[in-house]
Structures are given as C-alpha cells and as structure tokens.
Amino acid sequence: MTTTAEAEQKLKDLTAKVNAYCDANGLPHESADELALADGITDDQRRWLNAFIEEWDGVADYCTVRT
C-alpha cells in the first residue's frame, strides 16, 4: 500500500471478505473481534477470524498512521 486511498479500498475489500465468510459459514454479520470470542464457533473459524483480525489491524494501523 502506498496511498490512503489504497488502504481505504483494502478495508472495503476486507469488509466484503469477512461478510462473505460469515455468509458461507452461517455466522452473523458482527465484528470479527466479537465473533472470535463467541461460543459455538469451530476452532477453524476462530483461527480464520483471528488471522482476519491481524490483517484488518495492519491495514487500519496504516490508515491511522497516515492520517
């Protein structure tokens, strides 16, 4: 990423990614942070969500530093 616009687009793409994951896995459309702590999700789902959170935080941190 080199521009704020690219980082903002990446966040939009990540939002679409987590929404698609939730749809495919029958999960509610809540924040990945909340879902990762929820009861009733599988270990695989928790791992995916935690990896997603790391990816999101990296992009969000970039946006915060740039603004």
Rg (CA), the chain: 13
Only one residue has tokens 């966040």, namely 11
pLDDT in tens, the chain (67 residues): 568 888 889 999 999 999 999 999 999 999 999 999 999 999 999 999 999 999 999 888 777 655 5
User: Of all helices (H) and strands (E), which one includes residue 49?
Assistant: helix 43-66
Q: What is the pTM of this model?
A: 0.86
For the chain, which residues make up each domain, given as ranges? 4-66
Do 7 and 66 touch, CB atoms closer than 8 A? Answer: yes
